[in-house]
Amino acid sequence: MIFLELVLQNFGPYSGKQIINLNPKINEENSHPIILLGGMNGGGKTTLMDAIRLALYGQRAQCSTRGSLSYSDFLNQCVNSKIDPTTDTRIELLFEHIENDKPIKYRVVRSWIKNPKEGKDTLGILGDSDTWPDALVNIWDEYIENLLPLGISNLFLFDGEQVKELAEQETPPPIVVEAIRGLLGLELADRLAIDLDILVNRKLKEVGNSKDLANLEEIETRLTQQQEDYQTTAEKLESLKNQLEKLEIQQREAFDKFISEGGKIAVERNQLELQQQAKAAEVEQVRQSMCELAADVLPLALIHNLLNQVQAQGEKEFRHQQIQISKDLLIERDQRLLTWLSQVELSPIQVEKIQSFLVKDVDSLYAKSLQTEASWLLADDETLSQLDNLIYHLQNSQVSAQQQLNIIKNKEEEIHTLERQVQTAAAPEDYKKLHQALETAQNKVVEAKANYEAIRRRLAELETIIAKSKKELNEYTVENFKQKNNEHIITSAAKVQETLKIFREKLTLRKLNKLEEEVKNCFLYLLHKSDLVHRIAIDTNTFSLSLYDFNGKPVPKHRLSAGEKQLLAIAFLWGLAKVSGRRLPVAIDTPLGRLDSSHRNNLVERYFPSASHQVILLSTDTEIGKKEVETLRENEAIAREYLLKYDSTTRQTTIKPGYFW
């Protein structure tokens, strides 16, 4: 289990929302166990420990400032004094643990509003899924008991005062004793013994309060009558079933007649007429569009062939004009050529031959092209272009007109269909008769179903009554066996209790032997003095510690210095954590209260980096000072550092990254 994040909102001296990242992982590869939080006395260190306990255990939390206060009074006391009473106070604890061999994260959220009459918090659980955390709220107390039981929480979440008390007392205080018993699993045997006592008392009560058995003949007579009633009711139910089936057939026939003779159409007449009117309006709209086309170029479609002929004639005349122009240009060029030839030294005969050739050439070149009918249209280029656009526009209008004609045809067919449906509707008098016949058939079916259901329920009741009578009859024969069985349980319980007592003693010895060895090893490791203690013994009833030297002689506890006693108490807690086998975080408030420099160095160098995979230290500047924090930094034991800055004027604490130095 790892605490990943603690969020405080208006809790104690922490105003507003403040977040502490408790994740010991620096990155994906590196992880340092210690989360160091520094603060002066009265600055809010203990409040952080209370916040963790409150988030996990709620009303059951053993917080330092609660005392004899009720839970509602304690919640009101925890609200920051500077905020609006209607503002939420909130604690969130995000942690991760292994569940079914997979890491699972849960965020425990507790919030409340200050209420002088009734202070009550609201618990919420946020997780990786949406279904399980909602159900987890209802069983949270049982769930957290499996992860970090309340009884052993003080062995992992403890403060300097607790270590001091444990160090000075010969016998551990009751709260530590109960935690030890829970951690070692000894309470299971005690709980089993209590359960056995409860079972014995219950069986004694059953034997002492057993009543006279019912008369067998009376039970059999009653059972026979019930079975006869059941048979009669079953026959009646079968008759009603047949009647219901006939009535349902009549209902279907009435409904089919209602449909076939136009009853349904009569009901839908108004809707059909509205549809008919809508279709007629759509047809009229399309006709109006057709009129607009007719008012434009569409009438020219009547002379479409004439327009094509005019277009062809215009193109012919235009080509003839182009040919005539080119012929005139050639004649002009030939004339210039002859004029020039007459000026050069050529004989008149040669010039005449050239002229004859040019005339024949032009005549032969244009002879076929100019063989056309006379021009009568005499249209220019712009007029021919307008004619071409007109023909194109006319073609589009014809396509649009054809589409609209198709729409009109389809709409008219739909209108005719609707008219035929309306014509098949029943007359009002016929509709009334059809509707009454259908309604009567439906009412008969409803009444028959109600009667059938009532008899079916009565039959089910008789089944239950008969089963109960049979059970009574069966119990009549097994009651003597049951009573003998109870007497056997009572006599056997005493033997089990004795066996359980022996088991508890052996379990305690086996567990404590392992714990003694762990506590001794931890103490010698912290003390760094191997000749002081050779063996540590733990009393099986009080769990008090006894120290022995190498000669087997007791080492009186008063011979230990105050620092050695405190190291012994820490070794005791450390050994318990190791024996438990649980991977749980350790949180320590004011851990170095009365240690001298030598013992302090041993604790800093040996215990803090090894106490757990996650160690949350809440310290003042005099406990983990500049030298100690530098040692931890050099050993790469610190993952994160925070400083609780307390403002005495406002009595508010702010969490800042970093430490005193």
User: Is residue 83 situated within a structural domain?
Assistant: yes
User: Is residue 309 situated within a structural domain?
Assistant: yes
424, 448, 479: which is the final residue of a domain? 424
**pLDDT on residue 160:** 73
User: Is residue 384 situated within a structural domain?
Assistant: yes
387, 407, 424: which is the final residue of a domain? 424
User: Is residue 249 situated within a structural domain?
Assistant: no
**pLDDT on residue 94:** 95
Question: 0.75 cut: is pTM over it?
Answer: no
362, 394, 424: which is the final residue of a domain? 424
Radius of gyration (C-alpha) of the chain in whole angstroms:
54
Q: Which long-range contacts (CB under 8 A, 24 or more apart) does 214-219 make?
A: 214/472, 214/476, 216/473, 216/476, 219/469, 219/472, 219/473, 219/476
Q: Are the beta carbons of 12 and 47 closer than 8 angstroms?
A: yes
**pLDDT on residue 18:** 96
d(CA 603, CA 595): 9
What is the number of structural domains in the chain? 2
Of all helices (H) and strands (E), which one includes residue 287? helix 269-294
Domain region containing 400: 270-424
User: Is residue 467 situated within a structural domain?
Assistant: no
What angle is formed at CA 1 by the lines to CA 58 and CA 577, rounded to 5 degrees? Answer: 90
CATH number of the domain to which 38 belongs? 3.40.50.300
What angle is formed at CA 213 by the lines to CA 211 and CA 215, rounded to 5 degrees? Answer: 140
Across the 661 residues of the chain, what is the mean pLDDT of every consecutive 10-residue run? 96 94 89 94 90 94 86 91 88 92 92 81 80 78 88 80 76 75 68 73 59 61 88 91 90 82 67 81 89 85 83 79 79 82 78 83 67 66 82 86 90 82 68 82 91 92 89 64 66 77 76 87 81 84 86 85 84 85 86 71 87 92 89 93 93 94 88
**pLDDT on residue 213:** 46
pLDDT tens, position by position, 274-299: 788 888 889 889 888 888 888 888 88
The burial class, CB within 10 Å (0-12 / 13-18 / 19+), for 156 is: buried
User: Is residue 277 situated within a structural domain?
Assistant: yes
User: Is residue 572 situated within a structural domain?
Assistant: no
**pLDDT on residue 211:** 43
**pLDDT on residue 507:** 72
Return the amino acid letter for 233. Answer: T
User: Is residue 184 situated within a structural domain?
Assistant: no
**pLDDT on residue 210:** 45
Do 138 and 275 fall within a single domain?
Answer: no
